Structure 1
Amino acid sequence: MDLEAYDFLEVTAQVSSPHASNPFTDAAIRGKFEGAERRWQVEGFSDSEDGSVYHVRFMPPAAGEYTYSVEYHQGWSTATSTGKFRVTEGHRRGPIRIDPENRWHFVWKGTGEHYFFNGTTAYWLMGWRDEDVIRSSIERLHRLKVNRIRVTIAGRTNRYFGEPVMAGDSWTPISTPWPSRRDARLLHYLGRAGQRFGIGIGRDFFDSLGELGQVEDIYHPGFDYSRFRVSYWQKLERALKFARDRDVIFSLVLDMNDSRVHPAPGSADERRFIRYAVARLGAFSNITWDLGDDLDSYRDDEWTHTTGTLIKAWDPYHHLATSHPVDNVHQDRRSDWFDFTSFQEWSRDQHSFMLSQRKEQERLGRIIPQTNEEYGYEDHYPMWAKGPGSDSADTLRRTAWEIVMAGGYQTAGETARRGTNIWPDTGGGWMNGRGDETMTMFEGYAHMVDFFTSFDWWKTEPHDELVNNGNYCMAKPGELYAVYLPHGGKVELKLQPGRYAGTWMNAVTGKKTPLPSIKATALWISPPAPVGDDWALLLRKSGL
């Protein structure tokens, strides 16, 4: 058997006569893998609600010969399977990691290429019933050079945040990773029967029973947290594989404050859920972990530290992990498990904010990438936003430039104004990932991606002191200078002596205009940017 590095091997146990009362708690499957001078112990999972199918998945990190031993346990019985397989190079990009030499930045583990983190939010992408919509949404975002999507596993909401979005036959924001309890379902049916036929006990009694055991009810889902709704997880895996084939990372947001109902913090039910997620999804190379959206609204700092540490212990591949609290003081930035920030900060001075966060991270003595994953959603104006226009496509595009020109990264969110289950029913944006041809904000973001990936951006640092007029500069002095001019015009740039090749880029259209060769002695004054709008300027030392 041949397998490419950073794909995964799946070893399956077929149980011909399953008799575990609960296959998710009463049986277990584990694997030991050896190769590339390393050993791994990997937990498996039940992939059937009757206990007839179990899997162990393993993602090999390098070419070579591997062996495995898998054991299935149920009651007093044990079954063992052994085997060997060969792994070829394949040149897959693999998971993302922090660049060990430039720790503000990311690299693809498989190839060593640098990863320019350019994300979007689509929390309830998995709410689409037609998986063609999920795939076409991922494909569209990939085409727009989005390489990271925030997707929730268990998050649920019945609020639509003022957007023209509603649950319906085609889509729902009610995630269902667990089934409802059997007893809750029976009480629900009893309540419905009593509501319809009545047996003299009282309407209120039957109404209360009728509310139980509906997984679609955000307040009374009656979840059986000891079991999993396998079809939901299989659907998520199909989306993950489709995204992996396009080098798109899923930020797996475990849960959300909007869910209203959660497993008890630190409980066996909660830890079973997280371990099941790690066992099923950890072998996909294109994931990172997020402990939860608005996490500080339903979990405390001690829980965050403990759970983040546990995830890193349970995940044999040590995928990057973070959390997303409302108040950024609750990010566990000193801890080894915490790999990058995931800020929630909506101000319109993002450049200063991100620079201050770099300084704070330096003060903490632990350099990690700085990302703002929630600085507004296109055309979305809750009361904490700055008012109409503050979240327009153009404003958010400019804000993204402010963030990356501070050496940070960002996750944006497209407009939901094109509707889901509301006319014209062609969108959903930050809520579910779907978009149409009128949604063009990310075309502007793609120009920013093209600009930065045209040079070794990870070798540069913020150097605003080298420019004037409120412009921004990222530089490796003497070699590379990237300047952003929010208002166009010209810039005074303090250069080290030498010859430089320069190029203007219109940040709105992406059009590039080369400059004549530049001979600098100290201060260089650029010609004015060709027209209005905001512009980017790139200077490279000649001969590099």
Structure 2
Amino acid sequence: MHKLSASLLSAALFLALLTNCTQKEPLQATKWDKLTLSFAGPETAEDAADNPFTDYRLNVVFSKGLKKMLVPGYYAADGNAGESSAAAGNVWKVHFRPDEEGEWIYQVSFRKGANIAVDDDPQAGEPVAFDGEEGKLIVAAGNYQLPDLRAKGRLTYVRERYLQFQETGEYFLKGGADSPEDLLGYADFDGTYKGTAGENRSGEAENKATLHNYAPHAADWKAGDPIWQGGKGKNLIGAINYLASKGMNSIYFLTMNIGGDGKDVWPYTGYDERSRFDCSKLDQWEVVFDHMERKGIMLHIVTQETENEKLLDDGDTGPQRKLYYRELIARFGHHLAVTWNMGEENGPASFSPNGQTTEQQKAMTDYFKTHDPYQNYVVIHTHSHKELRHEMFDRLLGHPSLDGPSIQIGYIGDAHDDTKRWVKNSAEADHPWIVNIDEIGPANRGLDPDDRTDNNQDTVRVAVLWGNLMAGGGGVEWYFGYLNHNNDLGCEDWRSRDRMWNYTKVGLDFFQRYLPFAEMESHDELSGENTYCLAKPGEVYAVFLPLGGEASIDLAGAEGSYSVSWYNPRTGGELQQTDIKTVEGGEVRSLGNPPSEPEKDWAVLVKAGG
């Protein structure tokens, strides 16, 4: 027995499917939309003796021609747990995102056996209930409007320095929020509470006794936006609306901080549970994630943190870890922009000596690449010390299932050179990485709020945002520092950094509007001391002046005429010009001084055909 729920279906068709359990006509779907197949299986519960999460396994193979995708499913209680808070029922679900129009077929495997959920043998256990069911899908073109990511398709790793959207071919640069890392420690989610009393450790944000509420964003929720259980979720949905309105496209959040900071986020039915999942809580997470996708925001899913990286299977990819990853993939891997982050501050350090080994890190990334049917982007987050991150990532260069570093830097002046290092070294290892800066130091400040009189936003904008992008990096997310208000664990109001969201959007706009950045590489040697240069030599050059002053460009190896335009990294807008409107190739050329405020940072665009 099956039923289909998808956003494209009319209410009448949905009701027809519910009442006609023998429906054999092809089901209708839309390219890039979320299709949900629901199956009626054995009556069971989250706490049943035969654990429905370990002892049953739902897999569905979707095929079109030679393309086959094995998509894992999950136990869904009554099928409406986000609204009902049900912990029992007979519904299993699978989510599928078709990436091609035309006719697809699906074949269902549903089997029972001890710990079968993490057994990859297709013949393990015994067939039960709806095992063997088959059907067809007719997938039509979609008609989606930006910022909805369904208008762009899936964001994919394509063995280049940037992620790329499958539908449009557009390359992605990210800008977004790294704080609060316990975003999902939210009072409106079922089963969410502080697992133990907070520990206020040196070098970390105060561990509040209360969950997040996000009350400052209540007015950002709009009529028609999603809610659950009669009105829950408005404040978090409003917060996402606000961040999207600032042009941000990524949010970093933990899905498990048991034993770590916050102690308020986990997918399980309890803080001490490791093999049973909270169906209603995870359904409610999905409401939020769906809304993020509609608003054009990547899910940066951080699966663990430094304090708990050995919690599951002592760091191995064993039964507990596989079960956890399978549930994440089955429920959330279908989303069109996903980063799987293997762990915050991962690996051993003097202050965290019991970290995962290189082989354990490789095993984690391998699991995602062999079990996520959508092949989403996989990274590992670093410690802040340069020596530690260099030592760790040197050992991981070239590993085929790791797509990039999620870099934390203690000293923001390292952002540009560190980005260049990993772009260059990963290319030489024949597995190019997307290199992002996802956390900045010093830990007590990170990115200061707007109202701090000595705030560091100008310095951070120059050194980190432009430092990363001008080195060929993939973008940034902002960490808020443990001594600031609205800090890493205590942030309730993203408006506390309103100005920095503006600066970030201005930086991303320059690259997306004016540069073929995916074809350009770092050439700092062409623009002189204390400057950055990203170039496609002979065609286009971007020069960034962190300290303002006079700009120059070495065109000794270039011919022809080049136009010269200026861009303000603080205010953005259209390109500006000075008296020097063109220069000729053949030697080092002065580009002159900025149009105004010559002591501040500026970008210069030099293009062939001037």
On whether the aligned pair clears a TM of 0.5, the verdict is yes
**What does 1:251-266 correspond to in 2, within 5 Å?**
251-259=300-308, 262-264=311-313, 265-266=315-316
Alignment partner, residue 440 of structure 2: 375
- Whole-angstrom CA distance in 1 between matches of 2:468 and 2:371: 33
Whether the 8 Å contact between 1:389 and 1:395 is mirrored in structure 2 is no
C-alpha displacement of 1:476: 0.9
Alignment partner, residue 143 of structure 1: 245
**What does 1:325-336 correspond to in 2, within 5 Å?**
325-326=382-383, 327-328=388-389, 329-331=391-393, 332-336=396-400
Cα–Cα, structure 1 residues 319 and 260, in superposed 2: closer, same or farther, change >3 Å? closer
* Aligned-partner SS, 2:304: coil
From 500, 505, 515, give the equivalent of 2:562: 500
- Whole-angstrom CA distance in 1 between matches of 2:309 and 2:369: 26
The CA RMSD over aligned residues, in Å, is 2.8
From 91, 96, 113, give the equivalent of 2:170: 113
State the AA in 2 paired with 1:318.
Q
State the AA in 2 paired with 1:175.
V
State the AA in 2 paired with 1:176.
W
Cα–Cα, structure 1 residues 433 and 311, in superposed 2: closer, same or farther, change >3 Å? farther
Whether the 8 Å contact between 1:508 and 1:533 is mirrored in structure 2 is no
Alignment partner, residue 477 of structure 1: 537
- Whole-angstrom CA distance in 2 between matches of 1:300 and 1:260: 10
Whether the 8 Å contact between 2:397 and 2:425 is mirrored in structure 1 is no
C-alpha displacement of 1:79: 1.8
State the AA in 1 paired with 2:96.
F
Deviates more, 1:427-436 or 1:5-14: 427-436
1:509 equivalenced with 2:568 (yes/no): no
1:356 equivalenced with 2:421 (yes/no): yes
* Aligned-partner SS, 1:436: helix
C-alpha displacement of 1:287: 1.0
C-alpha displacement of 1:381: 6.3
- Whole-angstrom CA distance in 1 between matches of 2:168 and 2:136: 25
C-alpha displacement of 1:227: 0.5
- Whole-angstrom CA distance in 2 between matches of 1:96 and 1:440: 28
State the AA in 1 paired with 2:246.
L
Whether the 8 Å contact between 1:47 and 1:55 is mirrored in structure 2 is yes
Alignment partner, residue 184 of structure 1: none
C-alpha displacement of 1:50: 2.4
Alignment partner, residue 18 of structure 1: 44
From 513, 524, 546, give the equivalent of 1:486: 546
- Whole-angstrom CA distance in 2 between matches of 1:465 and 1:389: 36
Cα–Cα, structure 1 residues 450 and 377, in superposed 2: closer, same or farther, change >3 Å? farther
1:460 equivalenced with 2:523 (yes/no): no
Q: Deviations over 1:175-225 (max 9, x none)?
A: 131123xxxxxxxxxxxxxxxxxxxxxxxxxxxxxxxxxx3xxxxxxx221
- Whole-angstrom CA distance in 1 between matches of 2:512 and 2:533: 16
Alignment partner, residue 300 of structure 1: 357
* Aligned-partner SS, 2:361: helix
- Whole-angstrom CA distance in 1 between matches of 2:153 and 2:570: 32
1:86 equivalenced with 2:143 (yes/no): no
- Whole-angstrom CA distance in 2 between matches of 1:70 and 1:440: 51
- Whole-angstrom CA distance in 2 between matches of 1:148 and 1:15: 37
C-alpha displacement of 1:419: 8.1
* Aligned-partner SS, 1:274: helix
Query: Alignment length, in residue pairs?
Result: 477
C-alpha displacement of 1:481: 1.0
Query: In percent, how many aligned pairs have the same letter?
Result: 23
* Aligned-partner SS, 1:487: coil
State the AA in 2 paired with 1:500.
Y
Cα–Cα, structure 1 residues 438 and 107, in superposed 2: closer, same or farther, change >3 Å? closer
State the AA in 1 paired with 2:68.
R
1:72 equivalenced with 2:110 (yes/no): yes
Whether the 8 Å contact between 1:4 and 1:87 is mirrored in structure 2 is yes
Deviates more, 1:111-120 or 1:334-343: 111-120
- Whole-angstrom CA distance in 2 between matches of 1:379 and 1:391: 13
**What does 1:65-464 correspond to in 2, within 5 Å?**
65-74=103-112, 77-80=128-131, 81-90=133-142, 92-100=151-159, 103-122=160-179, 123-130=181-188, 131-156=233-258, 174-180=264-270, 215=271, 223-259=272-308, 262-264=311-313, 265-266=315-316, 267-297=318-348, 298-326=355-383, 327-328=388-389, 329-331=391-393, 332-347=396-411, 348-376=413-441, 380=445, 392-399=456-463, 400-413=465-478, 415=480, 427-428=486-487, 434-436=493-495, 439-454=498-513, 455-464=515-524
Deviates more, 1:137-146 or 1:371-380: 371-380
State the AA in 1 paired with 2:250.
R
- Whole-angstrom CA distance in 2 between matches of 1:245 and 1:58: 17
- Whole-angstrom CA distance in 2 between matches of 1:145 and 1:429: 21
Structure 2 segments unaligned to the other structure (5+ residues):
1-26, 78-86, 114-125, 143-149, 189-232, 349-354
* Aligned-partner SS, 1:234: helix
State the AA in 2 paired with 1:254.
T
Alignment partner, residue 605 of structure 2: 538
C-alpha displacement of 1:527: 2.4
Q: Deviations over 1:106-153 (max 9, x none)?
A: 211222111113243132111222422222222222222221211111
C-alpha displacement of 1:462: 0.9
Whether the 8 Å contact between 1:126 and 1:432 is mirrored in structure 2 is no
C-alpha displacement of 1:430: 7.2
- Whole-angstrom CA distance in 2 between matches of 1:263 and 1:119: 29
Q: Deviations over 1:63-117 (max 9, x none)?
A: 11111122433476332432212112326323222345xx122211222111113
- Whole-angstrom CA distance in 2 between matches of 1:55 and 1:14: 9
State the AA in 2 paired with 1:67.
I
Alignment partner, residue 202 of structure 1: none
1:44 equivalenced with 2:70 (yes/no): no
C-alpha displacement of 1:37: 3.6
Whether the 8 Å contact between 1:405 and 1:472 is mirrored in structure 2 is yes
C-alpha displacement of 1:231: 2.1
State the AA in 2 paired with 1:407.
G
* Aligned-partner SS, 1:280: helix
C-alpha displacement of 1:362: 3.8
Whether the 8 Å contact between 2:440 and 2:446 is mirrored in structure 1 is no
Deviates more, 1:443-452 or 1:486-495: 486-495
Q: Deviations over 1:257-314 (max 9, x none)?
A: 2458822233322221111111111112221211111221432211111121111111
State the AA in 1 paired with 2:28.
D
Deviates more, 1:69-78 or 1:351-360: 69-78
State the AA in 2 paired with 1:375.
I
- Whole-angstrom CA distance in 2 between matches of 1:432 and 1:234: 24
Cα–Cα, structure 1 residues 381 and 146, in superposed 2: closer, same or farther, change >3 Å? closer
State the AA in 1 paired with 2:105.
T
Deviates more, 1:107-116 or 1:404-413: 404-413
